[in-house]
């Protein structure tokens, strides 16, 4: 399948779990599609990039290790994504990666996710926290940063400061997640 064909196919992806899973499985069964999917995802001003992000999120949820050869590309360009419906799945993929990195069960993400990859994830997650993002990317970023704070001792104080500063002006969902993360940081 060419990039143009994949682009056309992504027009059939909608919010349904069934469609996202169908296309994620298509990509997983044909890993040569992953760089093409990333190319489309990083066409950041194109609405189809959001659909590519939805599929990438499901690829990450189904077979995170399929993304390993593309970690450089993903972490280099993820900060350019700005459309709300693409930012959320990108933040979710970051959370998947970091959860796998800190998982007690040994996995390939632990050996392949380099310090550079983690630093890029830290940067984009702090961007999500301080910029005008919706609650979902902020919630994923909070959890991701909390986990990363196990190895980067400066993260927890910075994260706590942002959560406390923004607490009053945010939604109930943000407040609930922030309370949970702040409790974990302080314990």
Multiple choice CATH, 3-186, 1.10.287, 3.30.70, 1.25.10, 1.25.40:
1.25.10
Question: Does residue 90 contact residue 78 with C-beta atoms inside 8 Å?
Answer: yes
Q: What is the pLDDT of residue 55?
A: 96
pLDDT in tens, 164-174: 998 888 888 88
* 3-class SS string, 48-75: HHHHHHHHHHHHHHHHHHHHHHHHHHHH
Question: Does residue 3 contact residue 39 with C-beta atoms inside 8 Å?
Answer: yes
What average pLDDT does range 133-146 have in this prediction? 95
Q: Is the pLDDT of residue 72 over 90?
A: yes
CA 89 to chain CA centroid, Å, is 5
Q: What is the pLDDT of residue 166?
A: 87
124 vs 169, residue with greater confidence: 124
Reduced to 3 states (helix: H, G, I; strand: E, B; else coil), residue 182 is helix
What average pLDDT does range 14-25 have in this prediction? 91
Q: What is the pLDDT of residue 111?
A: 97
Residues of the chain above pLDDT 70, percent = 100
Question: Does residue 61 contact residue 96 with C-beta atoms inside 8 Å?
Answer: yes
Q: What is the pLDDT of residue 171?
A: 84
Spatial CA neighbour of 147 closest among 98, 80, 86, 76: 98
pLDDT in tens, 97-109: 999 999 999 999 9
What average pLDDT does range 26-44 have in this prediction? 96
> pTM of the full predicted structure?
0.94
């Amino acid at each position: 399948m060419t990039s143009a064909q994949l682009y056309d196919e992504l027009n059939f992806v909608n919010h349904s779990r069934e469609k996202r899973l169908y296309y994620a499985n298509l990509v997983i069964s044909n890993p040569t599609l992953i760089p093409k999917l990333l190319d489309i995802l990083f066409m950041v001003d194109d609405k189809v990039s959001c659909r590519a992000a939805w599929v990438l999120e499901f690829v990450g949820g189904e077979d995170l290790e399929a993304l390993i050869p593309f970690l450089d590309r993903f972490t280099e360009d993820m900060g350019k994504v700005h459309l709300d419906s693409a930012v959320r799945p990108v933040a979710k993929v970051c959370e998947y990666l970091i959860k796998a990195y800190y998982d007690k069960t040994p996995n390939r993400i632990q050996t392949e996710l380099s310090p550079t990859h983690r630093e890029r994830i830290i940067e984009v997650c702090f961007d999500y926290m301080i910029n005008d993002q919706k609650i979902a990317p902020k919630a994923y970023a909070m959890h991701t940063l909390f986990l990363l704070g196990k190895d980067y001792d400066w993260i927890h104080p910075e994260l706590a400061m942002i959560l406390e500063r923004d607490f009053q002006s945010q939604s109930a969902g943000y407040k609930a997640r922030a309370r949970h993360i702040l409790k974990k940081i302080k314990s």
